[in-house]
Amino acid sequence: MPMSLPARKAPAGGAGVRRWVVTIVVSVVALVLTLVVISLSVGSSLPRTSLQDYLPVGVTVLGKLSSSERADGNANGTAIGEEPLQGVREPLVEQNGQGGYLNSGQPSPLTRKIESKEPDPVASGDTTSTPDEDSSNESQKAEQGTCDLYHGEWVLDSSGPLYTNNSCPIITQMQNCQGNGRPDKEYENWRWKPEQCILPRFDARKFLELMRGKTLAFVGDSVARNQMESLVCLLWQVDVPQNRGNKRMHKWLFKSTSTTIARVWSSWLVHRSTEAVGIAPKGIDKVFLDVPDETFMEFLPRFDVIVLSSGHWFAKRSAYVLNGNVVGGQLWWPRQAGKMQMNNVDAFGVSVETCLTAVATNPNFTGLAIVRTWSPDHYEGGAWNTGGSCTGKVKPLDEVVRNGFTDAMYGKQVEGFRKAVKNAGQQGSQLKLMDITEPFAFRADGHPGPYRSPDPNKKTQRGPDGKPPPQDCLHWCMPGPVDTWNEMLLETIRREFERERG
């Protein structure tokens, strides 16, 4: 029923006119409110909105993928495998063949704490900042690229991983820890928290959009494969890729954005041959420290982003060649040749400088080259082939006992990186260092350990003689800490692309 105005005579004079106008305005407002109430009571046809409607597709308030995106992308349950490269044998684990671990007894300056480090604004007397504002400031630092991603702590995150061993069919069996019977799962739930900002949770859609029409390639050994599979698994949850690989290069195409993820095997990143050279006989691996690996250099112009990592094969039996001369070796050196000019640690440093200089100065490569630093292993009581063990590690370490071999190899890698940047001049800006070594020195819990196969009768405990079963304390469980490498990778790429646009 329409609302009518009161049948009242307006008082004479200016005051009366004003009261009459006010009465009309109040009546109109009341009419509008009445119509709104009636509309809501009978059920409006306008669409409802909520907080989720204003968030990016597939992202919740915590930045976690929605349940539909976490579903197994392989609806048929068919495992899609990659064909192994012919003539390549990937070792289980590698370690310093000349003594394994050196312990300097100097703990890492970092310690892992579960409790928050956020300051209490009341206790500190700062009433101008709230925890929400602090979080916003941290996010702003990350967005602006001013945050150091590589110093911080591991914090427990109950939201869990973005994929499972059942929702990604390409996990190498030896890294499928849950599928191989590992009984604990907390190692999947720790996230890296930089000291002064937030490392964003991996956003698969953001990554694919950032890499639209581009190719990212991992070049290196089996640990590089480990990271590549982690990235493909993370992306698989939002777009099931097509396997476009061959015997020379493994490739996955994500058709939604025409993004390609590739892997090229290169155990040393420099040229390798088994032919006889000088005093080194045929059959033993010859590592030419001053000649980049021609296999991946051939593919280099096709890549927009390349992630390079190596080093663990320098613990394998090999001879080192520099300027055409055999200058050293690992687990091999003839007594009559006298003293070696170069050991495996120094040889690694030279190989890094050679490879990165060649990448940065290649006139046909205009992309971004990211060097992932040394991936720490956690063998205790011996090396991989002498009874080393990481059994029973279920949480990040509270503090790190220094590993002399890791420290030496990491130091040579960083030194080689800096020399390559200097050698490349202006092109050196294409080289970026992803410094994961110290953060992951805490993650002794993240390796497969004895859970390397699905054999139900496998040994997972020490025997009556106290010896541990064979273990892998080098590669990383999937899902697990290795997924954080790709969170760091996404942040590194985002910063660089935005810098170029700016």
Q: Point out the residues that are catalytic.
A: 222, 472, 475
Among 274, 145, 295, smallest CA distance to 217 is for 295
Cα 183 from Cα 479, distance rounded (Å) = 14
349 burial via Cβ count (<10 Å: 0-12, 13-18, 19+): buried
72 burial via Cβ count (<10 Å: 0-12, 13-18, 19+): middle
Residue count of the chain: 502
Cα 350 from Cα 362, distance rounded (Å) = 18
Question: φ, ψ for residue 355 (rounded to 5)?
Answer: -65, -50
Cα 358 from Cα 321, distance rounded (Å) = 18
**In Å, what is the CA distance from 231 to each residue of 38, 133, 225, 488?**
53, 32, 10, 11
Residues 237, 73: contact at Cβ < 8 Å? yes
CA angle 175, 97, 473 (to 5 degrees): 20
Longest dimension (CA), the chain: 125
Residues 280, 247: contact at Cβ < 8 Å? no
Alpha helices in 96-242, H assignment, sequence order: 131-144, 204-210, 222-236
Residues 361, 423: contact at Cβ < 8 Å? yes
Alpha helices in 425-471, H assignment, sequence order: 437-440
Query: Which letter does DSSP use for residue 380 in this model?
Result: B
Q: What is the DSSP string of 135-148?
A: HHHHHHHHHHT-S-
Among 492, 449, 442, 486, smallest CA distance to 229 is for 486
